[in-house]
Amino acid sequence: MAFDAEIRQALIEQVRRFVTEKCIPIEAQVGETDEVPQAIVDEMKNLGLFGLAVPEEYGGLGLDMETECLVALELGRTSPAFRSVAGTNIGIGSQALVLFGTDEQKEKWLPGIASGDLIASFALTEPEAGSDAGGLKTKAVRDGDEYVLSGSKRYITNANKANLFTVMARTNPDEPGAKGVSAFIVERDAPGVSVGAPESKMGQQGAHACDVNFDEVRIPASNMIGKEGEGFKVAMSVLDKGRLHISAVATGASERLIKEMVNYAMEREQFGKPIAQHQLIQGMMADSQAEAYAARCMILDAARRRDEGENVTILASSTKLFATEACGRVADRAVQVFGGAGYITDYGIERFYRDVRLFRLYEGTSQIQQIVIARELMKAAKADQL
């Protein structure tokens, strides 16, 4: 749905107030307890944040990509754990069904995903497969009207809260790489599904990742998303969208860090004047602002082009690469501007420094983005020669 300017602005302001008034004040609490309070989760449900990308007919907001990115920029201004609560529902947890699901599948699961009553998680990564999705060992063997699913998944976001998993599994062992992989919806309460304890992580406390094990889990053949062997296609179809969303979250974090470093630099005095008056500090602030502004422009340009139906694979990967790497540089400069205070827990800067490191890893590492960009450039060059 393309929102008109007035409705879009009202939504963005509503999310901004939520972030400013409800999330930012309890960032330290979430970092210490490793849990987002249920009251916050309930308010996120009321705001419709779980259903940003679910069509209106299934109870979602059905946002266009540009509006979703504008909302993600606002959510990025606070600890990433808050956005992560709904992140898998916004991403492939819903989008695989939106794009490839049958009418029956959509009617069964999308309304619950949109409301946040169902948490949908994406299970791709394995001990020996992540960036190389074609290396999956989890298998699904056809047995009449069912598939028998066996294997283990690792670092699965929101697994401990999930009601459903979109699982990538190998259905044809004779097909090499990604060609033999299919996508399935697996319900948490299916016999044979078990979820490990949340991992202890470097950052993003309050956002949980766990191992998920499938021990001869029987699932109806009707739970397959798309056709057999199309799992990789299902996953790849939503990557451009996910990469733009994460770019926006990372850039929102950059903008928050810039605000924090400028305010601190204007208050902290050294050599008889605020450190903001020292040119080397000004250089770090200026570089950070230039990079955040460039990332925002890239995000919104790519999002608009996607909304217009353009293939934005190279733009999405370029944006994700730049925005997340820039966020890492901004976070590092923020610690530097704060000096010793930036290393102390009380100020929260060191928490952001740890939190944003993950942005360069998920939705495809920076190195995967480089490979995608180079591959798309060579593909375009070859097409020009034909």
Query: Which helix (H) or strand (E) covers residue 190, if one does?
Result: none
CB 135 within 8 A of CB 128: yes
**Cα–chain-centroid distance for residue 148?**
29
Q: Which 3 state secondary structure label does DSSP give 268?
A: coil
**Cα–Cα distance measured from residue 179 to residue 134, given in angstroms and rounded to the nearest whole number:** 8
- DSSP H or E stretch at residue 143: strand 139-143
Contact 189, 183 (CB under 8 A): no
Task: Give Cα 11 distance to the centre of its chain.
Answer: 20
Which long-range contacts (C-beta less than 8 Å, at least 24 apart) are formed by 131-135?
131/364, 131/365, 131/367, 131/368, 133/168, 133/178, 133/181, 133/232, 133/235, 134/176, 134/177, 134/178, 134/179, 134/181, 134/232, 135/177
Given the residues 126, 230, 291, 363, select the one marked as catalytic: 363
Q: What distance lies between CA 284 and its chain's CA centroid?
A: 28
Quick one: three-class SS letters along 288-321? HHHHHHHHHHHHHHHHHHHHCCCCCHHHHHHHHH
146 is catalytic: no
* Catalytic residue annotation: 363
